Structure 1
Amino acid sequence: MDYPRIVILIPARFGAMRFPGKPLALIAGRPMIQHVYQNLSLSPKSSKQIPYSVDVYVVTDDERIENAVKQFGGEVLRVDDDVASGSERVFLAYQRFLKAKSPALVVNVQGDEPLLHLQDLVPLFEFHLKSTFDITTLIRPRKNDSEGFSNPNRVKAIVTPEGKCLYFSRAPIPHGDPKGDWNLHVGVYSYKALALEKFFAMPTSVLEKREKLEQLRALEGNLSMGALSIHKELLGVDSPEDISIIEGVLRGQNN
């Protein structure tokens, strides 16, 4: 049986300002990029349960990351161009190495999400392939989280009941009770191939510059974007202090 082909691309750079060398930081004895890669890869067990052909690649410009990925048996694509974002590096990798594979979806997953698993993304694949949306992403409903609501590093999403994205902002939106319901944006993007090419053919938009959120380029450029709720509590790694928190979660999962 021919399953829809999904390509998952994980951008990884060594020189992050807040946490240099983050992809190679050890979590429970393994580099973080290894956790992310292996969590998103098909295993012999999951390949029987997931009706998709899934290819996973790390996209990097750094030899140290490339060597680490190859050492644990992962696939890596080198894109050494000086680019403005990891998303742009993902697009160049698709354009140069993967376009001929004609994937149904190209999925950009950040390399600092060591708790995200392939099974968490399967509903997003299904949602996207059944929809007319050009791009889809994930949101996590929040309530009684006034600290996160006011934090500009926690991006808020305004979404219709049907899942259509209307706006994203670092500001506390929607206006009202800070302990009320709001949607936290999770930085996973699924693109239909044509939408990916259209997106990166667009110039940087006004709101994208103001909010420093590149997904606003898609909305301003009239690409449709849908969002699916995920209720799993994900913890990204933003600083070295987050490593011990992630290790604690992993210990709890293994007990």
Structure 2
Amino acid sequence: MDLIYLDYAASTPVSEESLHVFQQLSKECYGNASSLHDAGGKANEILAYSRQSLAAILGGEPDSIYFTSGGTESNILAIQSIINGLPPHKQHVITTSVEHPSVHHAVNALQRLGVKVTIIEPNQEGIITKEILKQALLPETGLVSIQHANSETGIIQPLAELATLLKERDILFHTDAVQTFGKMHVSIKELGVDALSISSHKVYAPKGAGAVYMGAHVPWKPIYQHTVQENGL
């Protein structure tokens, strides 16, 4: 019996177009993008083009795109790097009970380091409302991370509404947009977020790739000291 695959929310097959591009670049553009020779320069041009293309889709700036190994790493790097860059009096992070496990891993690790963490619950419809979020805010809140859409229920959170509340208080806003990117319109400006995570294998691309968008105004610091790849992230 042929397998009928319906689990596209978990992962998609690689499209013919994506596979073709991946194969061609693997053969023709194999240099280290940090190297000074021609092969490295060619690879760097491809990376720059990729940043520009992705930034255009998200309505953001190319320099704010940082490539990663996937959604899990994107979430962890975004959350921990942002908290790492915030001052001591802004060491409180809020997230929800319905996030991807990688977000919970990220905040649990921060909690062990002394960062205050609050986990909020959605209402009966699965929505994080402005009122629910407002009740959890503290003077020391520095970051809020709320997914754009849930991978199991498909519920889309009203990020733009929540963003207005956070901007009034100068609180940074991260979203895990892994489930919505490529399936619906995802705009940094329209959502009102400061940082955003995406993954390749949800949108017919090869596994093992993803990205973080970090707004130029976000004062992040790397969790790995002295790194140089992806501008230090």
Query: Given the two structures, how large is their TM-score scaled by the length of structure 1?
Result: 0.30
Comparing both chains, which one has the higher relative contact order based on Cα–Cα distances under 8 Å and sequence gaps of 6 or more?
2
Please state which structure has a larger fraction of its residues in strand.
Answer: 1
Query: Given the two structures, how large is their TM-score scaled by the length of structure 2?
Result: 0.33
